[in-house]
């Protein structure tokens, strides 16, 4: 009986990248149901604002806590960023459970404080201003959306009343935005954040670059970071680089991933997050990093650890 051929780490990486490129369109087209008011009095609404940064409408959804409609209280805010193939309504998709209902239950059980949760539509921007200046998603989230929320709703102002979190692409966005603006956000939590172990995310083997699907992957990054990709600009938005260069003292940081995350093979996600853990440790930045055995990517991981992450970023509220 023949021995099976051994597969090298580089072969696994190449197979994983090909899987990513062949599967990039699989998550398009999902729609989320409209939500009725929750039993405890919470509700979710979708809205938009006139955005100069986006040259159009900036979309978002917002969760109102149980007591919002029956009181005149003001509330702290968590800005929660979605992943690459999602939008501002994806967090209400019930495929992995009812996230709004779980948040309400955590509030009613006093496990987390009552707060507003704002979910902006980040497209496929990695929550970054485009290198060519055409659209500025970071400015939309950091400047326009914060000002809009604090003047439209009963939202408390001040760094101690604002936190940011996200999943997947949104986890990357939450980390890099908080690291770039630690004076605006009091804490950050990131589930399955897309952190690349390679300095250049487009540094892939030749056979991957020749794939018919590579054009999509290449387009996402070159649209945001320049064509060809501008390494200096990417570095200025890369959590791995910011962890070593930014002044992060006083910024509580939490990030996690599942050891069964499909992106562990596709982009060596676990290695990227271990590198981020090391960089923060070497820089003397206090943080929490967790690897959850056997758990997957995305919203399923968020639902399983929502109490941990929301509890972490709301400590200053």
Going residue by residue through the chain, which has 317 residues, state the pLDDT in tens, using 9 for 90 and above. Answer: 333 344 444 444 444 444 444 333 333 333 344 467 899 999 999 999 999 999 999 999 999 999 999 999 999 999 999 999 999 999 999 988 999 999 999 999 999 999 999 999 999 999 999 999 999 999 999 999 999 999 999 999 999 999 999 999 999 999 999 999 999 999 999 999 999 998 998 987 787 677 665 677 789 999 999 999 999 999 999 999 999 999 998 999 999 999 999 988 888 899 999 999 999 999 999 999 999 999 999 999 999 999 999 999 999 89
CATH code for the domain in which residue 52 is found: 3.40.50.1820
Q: Is 1 inside a domain boundary?
A: no
Specify the 3-state DSSP secondary structure of 47: strand
Q: What is the pLDDT of residue 211?
A: 66
Q: What is the pLDDT of residue 15?
A: 41
Q: Give pLDDT, residue 98.
A: 95
Instruction: Order the strands of the 162-167 sheet from edge to edge.
Output: 43-51, 56-64, 116-120, 77-81, 162-167, 188-191, 253-258, 287-292
Confirm whether 83 is domain-assigned.
Answer: yes
The residue with tokens 């990709």 is 229
Name the residue range of residue 271's domain: 9-313
Q: At what angle do helices 9-22 and 214-225 cross, to 10 degrees?
A: 90
Q: What is the pLDDT of residue 16?
A: 47
Count: domains in the chain: 1
pLDDT for 208 equals 65
Q: How many CA atoms lie within 13 A of 209 on its CB side?
A: 6
Q: What is the pLDDT of residue 10?
A: 47
In a domain, 33, yes or no: yes
Is there a domain that residue 3 lies in?
A: no
98 inside domain: yes
Cβ-count burial of 96 within 10 angstroms (0-12 exposed, 13-18 middle, 19+ buried)? Answer: middle
Is 250 part of any domain? yes
| pTM across the whole model | 0.89
């Amino acid at each position: 009986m023949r021995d099976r051929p051994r597969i090298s780490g580089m072969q696994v990486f190449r197979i994983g990248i090909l899987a990513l490129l062949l599967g990039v369109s699989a998550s398009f087209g999902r729609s989320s149901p409209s939500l009725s008011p929750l039993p405890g009095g919470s509700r979710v609404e979708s809205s938009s604002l006139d955005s100069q940064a986006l040259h159009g409408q900036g979309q978002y959804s917002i969760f109102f806590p149980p007591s919002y409609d029956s009181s005149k209280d003001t509330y702290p805010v968590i800005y929660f960023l979605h992943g690459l193939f999602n939008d501002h309504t994806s967090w209400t998709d019930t495929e992995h459970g009812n996230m709004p209902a779980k948040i309400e239950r955590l509030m009613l059980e006093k496990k987390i404080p009552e707060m507003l949760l704002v979910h902006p539509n980040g497209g496929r921007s990695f929550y970054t201003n485009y290198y060519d200046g055409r659209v500025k998603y970071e400015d939309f989230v950091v400047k326009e959306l914060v000002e809009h929320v604090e003047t439209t709703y009963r939202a408390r102002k001040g760094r101690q009343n604002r936190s940011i979190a996200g999943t997947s692409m949104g986890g990357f966005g939450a980390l890099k935005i908080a690291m770039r603006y630690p004076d605006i956000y009091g804490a950050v939590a990131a589930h399955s954040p897309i952190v690349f172990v390679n300095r250049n995310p487009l540094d892939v083997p030749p056979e991957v670059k020749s794939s018919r699907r590579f054009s999509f992957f290449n387009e996402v990054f070159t649209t945001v970071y320049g064509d060809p990709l501008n390494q200096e600009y990417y570095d200025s938005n890369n959590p791995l680089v910011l962890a070593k260069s930014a002044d992060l003292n006083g910024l509580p940081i939490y990030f996690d991933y599942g050891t069964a995350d499909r992106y562990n093979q596709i982009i060596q996600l676990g290695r990227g997050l271990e590198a981020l853990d090391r960089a923060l440790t070497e820089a003397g930045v206090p943080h929490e990093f967790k690897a959850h055995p056997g758990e997957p990517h995305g919203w399923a991981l968020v639902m399983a650890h929502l109490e941990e992450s929301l509890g972490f970023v709301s400590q200053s509220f």
